[in-house]
Amino acid sequence: MRILVRLRARADTAYDNAYHHKLRGRLWKGLEGSEYDDLHDKNQPKPFVYSNPFPPGEIHEGDERNLLVASTDESLLAYIAENLNHDPELNIGEMPFHVDEITPLSPDVGEPGTSGTLETGTGVLVRIPPWRFDDYDIEVDHDEAEFWRPEHTMEPFQNQIEANLDKKHRLYAPDYRPGPSDTEGDLFDGYELIKTFALPVTPTMGRKETWVLSKWRFDYTVRDDDHRRHLNLALDVGVGERNSLGFGFVNIQDHDQ
């Protein structure tokens, strides 16, 4: 489930591609004092992800932009929506907006048999841990996690995103349901790499790093109800790591039903 936030620019400004840290802070503000507040400091994937303010590009006063916030938890989205309604000034770094409207949405990949494509709206972060370097014949001159790049082949990318979704399933799906790696078949039928790119990121206050990210189209055919739940979970919490910074947000590009 997700909410669509309609925004209106309050001033002329350049589009800030390093919006992640500021927008994350504003969304957490909506969760202060709620039962979700403690999640902020837990070292685990968070139950939400969000898009970039879109469409990107130069912003002029009065322009319309949109923001999508997705979560496994309707109540969490309600807290964020209530905060944005109560305080409709949404300043994302140097980009000042006013919240005009908030609409609930319920995207679904479709019933078993449905084929479609998911597309990442923001970059996907996948890091290969050093203890897996030998498994993938990765030779690097450091012992820190390696950002995935095309030369590392698809195997580590597919393994890491499935392992990451397994972890989110254990945290946010009913524990009696099988996770992605508990079922036969791949998560996606096809992986089309759109591009890789480097981006300056502020993962925590006062710390700046450059991360290597990638954008994708993922083809799928829903095998059964479990697979449908796994794909819808990806829609709700994102693909790959650091979704609470807005990375790995996916949309349904199209499907046949």
Residues 242, 168 contacting (CB under 8 angstroms): no
Sign of CA dihedral 148, 188, 177, 251: positive
DSSP run (H or E) holding 85: helix 74-86
The catalytically annotated residue of 38, 41, 134, 143 is 41
User: Using CB atoms within 10 A of its CB, is residue 150 exposed (0-12), middle (13-18) or buried (19+)?
Assistant: exposed
3-state secondary structure of 208: strand
CA distance 190 to 184: 16
3-state secondary structure of 164: helix
Is 41 among the residues known to form the active site? Answer: yes
Task: Name residues whose C-beta falls within 8 Å of residue 161's C-beta, 6 or more positions apart in sequence.
Answer: 124, 126, 187, 239, 240
Phi, psi of 16 (to 5 degrees): -100, 105
**Residues with catalytic function:** 41
